[in-house]
Structure 1
Amino acid sequence: MTDGDWLLPRPAWMATLLTITALYAALLSVATKAWRERTGVALRLDVLPKRATLPLMIGLPLLLIGGPYAFGATGRPAWLIATSLLGAAVSVGFHLAFVRLHRRTA
């Protein structure tokens, strides 16, 4: 996997990383709209404690971008697998905590 013929050039990696991050933001906006239409309540991140939302808003994009960079530097695909799984687990956990909090306040 670390063969030079297999790896993407740096500009292609950057385009891929930016596309993935933009897609993540777009999915959040779609989820926000769907939540508002289904419940009639705006999806508000300010109701969650800052100690949870701030690390998520900063850490998740860094995690999703850091994995491919670590893979490029080390050539070990375990970085991609680990950061993908961790990112998915963090996203699902945050979603479940948010839904539980909104159910309590509704």
Structure 2
Amino acid sequence: MVADRCGHPGWESRAALHHSQLSEAINDGSATAVATLAQLMASDMAREQAQSRVDRMINQQAYTMAVTDVFSLPAVLFFALVAMDWLSKPTLGAGAGDAGGAH
């Protein structure tokens, strides 16, 4: 993977993208987000601590998604090369005769 101009691997920008996309789903209208925050606050966390914990969960998921994105292209290339090798015909004359065990 090509590094960006700061030397970071390409998944840093993908992680930021996924983090922003996941963060958009976390709001007061989301039943899952409200329930998660309520559960965390019920375990003696302040609201800021619960929000920080949710942010760490979002970060973890964003980096997981970013690494998956980064490794998707090499996986597709690998399977394309395997398919190309499987579909290619062997060259004629390369070992076409019966050697009969002779040396």
Q: Which has the higher contact order (CA 8 A, sep 6+)?
A: 2
TM over 0.5: no
TM-score norm. by structure 2 comes to: 0.35
Instruction: Compare the two structures and name the one with the higher helix fraction.
Output: 1
TM-score, structure 1 length as denominator? 0.34
